Amino acid sequence: MTRLASDVDGAQIKRIFDVMRADCPAFKGYSHKDIDDMLLVLKVMQFQNGDCLVQKGEPVDMFAIVIQGRLRVGKKGQYEDEGGRQPRKPITLGFGDMLGHQNLAEVNGEFMSKKWDYDIYAESTGLVALLPFGEYKMETRRNP
């Protein structure tokens, strides 16, 4: 994945999550305290257009939410027409979309056996909030 976005202001991230709480179905019903608690463990990563965020075949070792920008599933050229076939429409992810292992309740010692099925590239600059599973396991041990 790309570098930690340490230059992103914490207050700005909180405002983004307040918008997500209001506009994303997955976050409807979350309180401000719920969001504050999530932000204690989520890391915010910055990406640039063209960055490869995950590669096919790597372990799925995190949960992430797109909070700004757009991601594309698969390589850019793989959606072009080859040999007269109709090109497939690219799959894109944007604000509020999630990727990685979404069921944290099932994260156990076997989650690393799951591998990414596709490459995921950035189509713009943006941000993802992610929870690396190693840190999730440490946090649950500290605060069960």
d(CA 47, CA 68): 10
The predicted pLDDT at position 74 comes to 81
Q: Which pTM does this prediction carry? A: 0.74
Residue 73 three-state SS: strand
The predicted pLDDT at position 108 comes to 55
Residue 115 three-state SS: strand
The predicted pLDDT at position 143 comes to 62
Mode of pairing for the β-strands spanning 126-132 and 120-122: unpaired
* Start-to-end CA span in the chain (Å): 28
Q: Which residues of the chain have pLDDT under 70?
A: 1-7, 75-88, 102-112, 134-144
Q: If we measure between CA atoms, which residue out of 79, 80, 104 comes closest to residue 92?
A: 79
Domains defined for the chain, CATH in brackets: 10-142 (2.60.120.10)
The predicted pLDDT at position 71 comes to 94
Which residues lie below 8 Å from residue 121, measured CB to CB, with a gap of 6+?
50, 51, 52, 53, 71, 72, 74, 75, 76
